[in-house]
Structure 1
Amino acid sequence: MGVFVAIVILIFWLGHLLYSLFFVEPDLLSPFFYLHILIQAYLYTGLFITAHDSMHGTVAKSRRLNNFIGHLSTTLFAFLSYNVLRKKHYQHHRFPGTEKDPDFSPRSNNFFVWWFVFMKNYVTWWQILLMAIAFNVLLIWFSEIQLIAFWVIPAILATFQLFFFGTYLPHRRPHSRDMEPHKSRTQRKNHLWAMLSCYFFGYHHEHHESPTTPWWQLYKSK
């Protein structure tokens, strides 16, 4: 089932991206133009959530297939290193909300400062170089505004969505007793909002309690 869900996310991500590039007119006055940007951003978030499940080994029983889907998802997202992400994510689960947590900002609770620290931990010069090369290759078939609108901006929006609902809201200070031992809070039970906001990762304390529960089963633990 995990492989099926991952394939559906990948197909929807690629299908909507191609549909937007070929059939959606980049019209700054059209609400449908912005709607497709938001849809693609949401699918980018799903792409990363798929990679995240791979890091926990919950996509496929076959380790090789599981890691392949993880590598594919992080590469499609923005040429991210799956191995680096997996290593740091294990640290996040082992030392949540501490100085040893690569996703945590111990010096500032400010959203934008924390987001910058968060991104600095994961963005590399190799990644930027590969993105630049891919962008220029894609210019052979598509215009700059098409690529920026449907390929670049959705990925950036997805990082904000993932960070806000999956890191900042759950782990921001102050840490109360009910957040222990994971230093993580959880959003109120609302499955529709939890799915729309970040594929149920607002139920974050539950994720830390059971990290091997795939995202599409996480609502059952609430």
Structure 2
Amino acid sequence: MHKQPSHTGFFVALLVLGSWAACIVSLMQWQVNFSNPLLYLFILLQMHLYTGLFITAHDAMHGTVSPSKILNNAVGYACTFLYAAFWFPYLNKQHHKHHRHVHTNDDPDYHHGNFIAWYFSFMRNYLSIWQIIIMAAAFNILKIWIPQQNLLLFWVTPSLLSTLQLFYFGTYLPHKGEHDNLHQSRSQKRNHILAFFSCYFFGYHYEHHDSPGTPWWRLWKTEPPISK
């Protein structure tokens, strides 16, 4: 008997998307008070949910959101656009190029340089003038109805912080330096709580390259690399 394909990934994706949407809609009308510690907690929460959007899109790039290609790609398009008007097919192409040519000159995510130079090279590879135009237009339209400081604090700032979170835990730490293994990557120490909050288990990066068909919410179950 053939095992029926699982739709769990689709419901996990809906949970991430729904959480992001519910929080950002609520925060757009929240009364900002810089002396209220909840303000900074909400910014960090939104940062984490923005990272979840991108990680969900990443799962779509590997076809693990849904066995239905239409649903899988629809989630990918939605998450990348909501994240920062990214174009899913381009990200998909570049990400698979990263997997095929990891840690080489043909790897779009790799850069020979320090953290700052690498980060700006990473962002330059993925940002386009059209994204900037779309996001600027959206900001100026939304501020007609939404307080500008709410847009800056809960829409702009968390998304920018999220790029740092994704880059640091999902690219820089796993791939910096030299590696004596097939996937040219390392993994963080096994601490599932830290791994989830840092980057949705993508600190277990060798495991992801070793099993790219494993969705983020199952990465913690994978076997860690054997230390030499």
TM-score (structure 1 length as normaliser): 0.96
Deviation track 1:6-46 (CA, whole Å, cap 9, x = no partner) reads 00000000000011112x32222221111101100000000
Alignment-mate amino acid for residue 24 of structure 2:
L
Question: Is the 8 Å Cα contact of residues 47 and 158 (structure 2) preserved in structure 1?
Answer: yes
Q: What value does the CA root-mean-square deviation take over the aligned residues? A: 0.7
Cα distance in 1 between the residues matched to 2:187 and 2:31:
39
Cα distance in 2 between the residues matched to 1:135 and 1:99:
36
Cα distance in 2 between the residues matched to 1:8 and 1:53:
14
Unaligned runs of 5+ in 1: none
Question: Is the 8 Å Cα contact of residues 25 and 33 (structure 1) preserved in structure 2?
Answer: no
Identity of aligned residues (%): 50
Alignment-mate amino acid for residue 168 of structure 1:
Y
Partner of 1:123: 127
Alignment-mate amino acid for residue 176 of structure 1:
H
Question: Is the 8 Å Cα contact of residues 28 and 147 (structure 2) preserved in structure 1?
Answer: no
Partner of 1:47: 53
Partner of 1:12: 19
Alignment-mate amino acid for residue 19 of structure 2:
F
Alignment-mate amino acid for residue 128 of structure 1:
I
Partner of 2:140: 136
Cα distance in 1 between the residues matched to 2:150 and 2:56:
25
Partner of 1:38: 44
Deviation track 1:136-185 (CA, whole Å, cap 9, x = no partner) reads 11011111111000000000011000000000000001x131xx211100
1:97-112 residue pairs with structure 2 within 5 A? 97-106=103-112, 108=113, 110-112=114-116
1:128-207 residue pairs with structure 2 within 5 A? 128-173=132-177, 175-177=178-180, 180-207=181-208
TM-score (structure 2 length as normaliser): 0.93
SS in 1 for 2:126: coil
Cα distance in 2 between the residues matched to 1:92 and 1:61:
23
Cα distance in 2 between the residues matched to 1:142 and 1:149:
12
**Residues 1:82 and 2:83 aligned together:** no
Moved over 4 A (4+): none
Question: Is the 8 Å Cα contact of residues 57 and 75 (structure 2) preserved in structure 1?
Answer: yes
Cα distance in 1 between the residues matched to 2:105 and 2:76:
27
State the aligned residue count. Answer: 216
Partner of 2:102: 96
Alignment-mate amino acid for residue 5 of structure 1:
V
